[in-house]
Chains A and B, each alone.
Chain A
Amino acid sequence: MHFRKALITGAVAALFCMPLAAQAKTLTIGLGSEPSSIDPHYHNLTPNNSLAAHIFSRLIEQDEKQNLTPGLATSWKPIDDLTWEFKLRKGVKFTDGSDFNADDVMATVKRAPNVPNSPSSFALYLKGKTFEKIDDYTIHIKTETPYPLMAVDVSTIHIISDKAVDATTEDFNSGKATAGTGPYKFIEWVPGDRLVLERNESYYGTKPEWDKVVYKPIKSGPSRVAALLAGDVDFIDNVPTIDIKRLEKDPKLSLSQGISNRIIYLHMDQFRENSPFITAKDGSKIKNPLLDVRVRKALSKAINRDLEVERVMEGVAISAGQLLPAGFFGVSPNLKPDAYDPEGAKKLLAEAGYPNGFKMKIHGPNDRYINDAKILEAVAQMFSRIGIETSVETMTKSVFFKRASKGGPDNTPEFSLVLVGWGSGTGEASSPLKSLLATYDKSKGMGASNRGRHSSAKMDAVLAEALATVDDTKRAALLAKATDIGIGEEMGIIPLHYQVNTWAAKKGLKYNARTDERTYAMGVVSN
């Protein structure tokens, strides 16, 4: 009833071009994954970063397409090859009443990389950078080599008050140190039960619609949907694909969908002469066929991506031909998803010396990505059609990732071909290129997630050049070129599809879907 009343009030108000009635409006959100802390520097992972963005601001914000927009910094630019200048916003107040200035930035960069017990730290984005306060509203950041990703790195760090520089994670969880400059302020957190925020009336930006936001962690997908249907929550994230068709027809709900920065792809063993899960059809040992680029291309052609998207993903995904969907920074205009071509694939296999195919076991997680196990089964059947006898083994993610990353001898990847996904945290192409395709090199920090150990000196060189090019246009072209080489020429990984995420809300609400898969209360608006 309440809801209907609000709807009518809203409609009447809109009719007279007036702001919405000023009664307290609460938004209750059913959340698939709960943050592990309120401390914005404790755990660098999506649920935590999503929450932190409500309570804290960053120097540079990322909008729903991960474009960089001014936050607590009003402008930023490189003043020479090694120095970036950030001008800070004046007149911003923390929720504890203190003013924001350069000291808070200095305190933040002191604390953020050094939080004790952090399971994944922000040191990643701050190392190699020297921060310098020029005056109260100017900051200089120096690096030792030209560093084009400065703005992206800075956009990951949430600014805390300099009073909280020595605060512990517990101080943030209890609310003692939780003063921010974000659109909401922290009220309480009962882990596993609820997390309550209230609108920050002194927020410098556009004030969000909701006076109060209550998060309820409901991990189980069907229960989350049921809570929405029962009206116990107004909005949920991570709608299970199997329910989407049914929910679309429900007149009491509205769905919001958006493509994500996450690609689902296949890694192929390219570093062993004998791959442990590949044999000839009679079971005898053969040289690892995946070392041959023709075999890798044949595998890609064997996959009917459109069919996979339509049947396995229920239409909720987009066929992929490279690392990020069109529209992102540094994607290649030349790469399209490989067309389904089993005859061409067989021809390539024959050329490579495998006219009768071979036998292969492929691996993947069964609880990490949307429909992961089903995708792998579909892919295996398509491989079998071009004569590669393929069997599938899936396992829980906690077991899978260890084996896929370092289950083999000398901590090498164990499997021959795996299904994995990658979300580009930076929202541009250097992130997947660096982690998935660059040659594995501990000392340079390259190829950390390169589970197939693909390695190409040609691509490495282009990528290295891109990572040292500050000019945006030139860098975008270089990243596109690196992608052209890594995927177009060498098929270092096989892209399958880009994930599409779905949020569901009560009728009358809609969500501005985000490519970074985050769930922001600020993005939920009534229409």
Chain B
Amino acid sequence: MSVFIIRRLLQSVIVVAVMSLIVFVGVNIVGDPVDMLINPEADQAEIARVIHDLGLDLPIHEQYLYFIKNAFKGDLGKSFIFGEPALKLIVQRIPATFELAFSALLMAVFIGVPLGVIAGMRPKAISSRAIMTGSILGFSLPTFWVGLMMIMIFAVILGWLPSTGRGDTVSVLGIEVSFLTVDGLRHMLMPAFNLALLKISLVIRLARAGTREAMHQDYVKFARAKGLSETRVIMVHVLKNIMIPVVTVLGLEFGSLIAFSVVTESVFAWPGMGKLLIDALHNLDRPIIVAYLMIIVLVFVIINLLVDILYSVLDPRVRLKDAGQ
């Protein structure tokens, strides 16, 4: 197992190195950040000064080497706009995004799996059809539109929930979190559900397919023959077996929840990393874009590793062995 992990780690390092090159060069050939940053009244001399100060007058390979050299020291560059280290700015926003992504993940599991199992057990029932139709909507409606509709209905018309922002936070171990305050939870409900919608639909489909398959398996028939209660059959025998694909997919999807919370964060003005990224893209704040993408690459690499390890725990048939190699 340790050999397996070491090899995976080495592969990950290569992935990260290649990504850094692609990301850095890709981001640096688009547009000119000086046009975005500078006051239009500035004259040519001031424009030249800013270009020089930001290091944009250097050839791109020198800029890249400089970036790599500093990256090893844990410095991913200073934001052009805020003048503060990009890493610090992103790390400040991580709690807000992770909080949102975790809530969305929990919603996906606790809403998606039960609905999927119900739909899988009685596929022809009206309730099951309603669930499946709902999941199609969840898949196909654009996130920003659903988000705006939710704001219109629950904040503007009904006035039940606050429309935007993060609300009250409390500090836990130095990290600001909002899920521990009532106001914070009220602010979180809509964006988390908005973000979870797609994943809920995905989990419903996975759970339904898994359930339909499991119901015909011998071990379920056997469990029934033993006279076990229906609840136990489902809770222990079916649920456990359908969780493998669900965990695999959610593991991968958690990365995308974080990476693509951009839309939800913009609609709900949620002060997370996604909103920081969108603003950085608009203003060509290259250090932030590069640092953000590097962090996302790391998150994906780590999640994939964890999923591989979780497999072996959930399914004893999957062994992380290196037999024959």
Contacts and interface: CB of A to CB of B under 8 A. Distances in A.
Contacts of A118: 50, 53, 83
Contact of B162 (A230, A399, A425, A445): A230
B53 A117 contact: yes
Q: Which of A36, A44, A397 has the most CB of B within 10 A?
A: A36
Interface in A68-122: 116-121
A232 interface: yes
B82 A36 contact: yes
B209 to A, nearest CB: 36
Given A36-B82, A226-B148, A425-B41, A232 B162 contact: yes
A448 B43 CA distance: 5
A398 B282 contact: yes
Contacts of A44: 39, 42
A6 interface: no
Contact of A216 (B37, B46, B164): B164
Nearest to A367: B282
B28 interface: no
B282 A119 contact: no
Contacts, number: 159
A268 B49 CA distance: 28
Nearest to A446: B43
Contacts of B38: 119-120
B32 interface: yes
A402 B42 contact: no
A143 interface: no
Interface in B76-108: 78, 80-84, 89, 92-93
B284 A226 contact: no
A511 interface: no
B163 interface: yes
A499 B200 CA distance: 45
Nearest to A190: B271
Interface stretch (A217-225, A458-466, A482-490): A217-225
Contact of A223 (B43, B49, B267, B271): B267
Contacts of B284: 398
B45 interface: yes
Contact of B271 (A121, A192, A231): A192
B46 A223 contact: no
A401 B37 CA distance: 11
B148 A222 contact: yes
B35 interface: yes
B135 to A, nearest CB: 26
A275 interface: no
Given A36-B81, A399-B31, A449 B40 contact: yes
Interface string A227-239: 1011110000000
A179 to B, nearest CB: 21
Given A117-B78, A220-B267, A402-B31, A192 B163 contact: no
B222 to A, nearest CB: 55
A124 B46 contact: yes
Interface in A158-204: 169-170, 173, 190-194
A397 B281 CA distance: 11
A43 interface: yes
Interface stretch (B64-72, B150-158, B253-261, B311-319): B150-158
B114 interface: no
A249 interface: no
Interface residues of A, number: 56
A17 B280 CA distance: 50
Interface in A23-66: 30, 34, 36-37, 42-45
Interface string B49-60: 110011000000
B35 A120 contact: no
A490 B325 CA distance: 79
Nearest to A449: B40
Given A227-B164, A229-B156, A219 B269 contact: yes
A442 interface: yes
Most buried by A among B33, B45, B163: B163
B276 interface: yes
A390 interface: no
B290 to A, nearest CB: 15
Contact of B164 (A42, A169, A218): A218
B93 A192 contact: yes
A507 to B, nearest CB: 16
Contacts of A399: 30-31
Given A170-B84, A399-B30, A121 B269 contact: no
A422 B275 contact: no
A234 to B, nearest CB: 13
A192 B53 CA distance: 26
A431 B40 CA distance: 10
A252 B37 CA distance: 37
Given A124-B42, A397-B36, A401-B31, A119 B83 contact: yes
B39 A402 contact: no
Contacts of B45: 442, 445
Contacts of A119: 37-38, 50, 54, 80-81, 83
A37 B46 CA distance: 20
A59 to B, nearest CB: 19
Interface in B229-271: 266-269, 271
B166 interface: yes
Given A226-B151, A229-B155, 15 more contacts: A44-B42, A45-B39, A190-B271, A191-B92, A192-B276, A216-B165, A220-B269, A223-B164, A226-B164, A227-B269, A231-B159, A398-B32, A398-B284, A423-B40, A445-B44
Interface of B: 30-33, 35-47, 49-50, 53-54, 78, 80-84, 89, 92-93, 148, 151-152, 155-156, 159, 162-166, 266-269, 271-272, 275-276, 278-279, 281-284
Interface of A: 30, 34, 36-37, 42-45, 116-121, 123-124, 169-170, 173, 190-194, 216-220, 222-223, 226-227, 229-232, 367, 397-399, 401-402, 405-406, 422-423, 425-426, 431, 435, 442, 445-446, 448-449
11 contacts: A34-B279, A170-B84, A229-B155, A367-B282, A398-B33, A402-B32, A402-B35, A405-B32, A406-B32, A425-B41, A448-B43
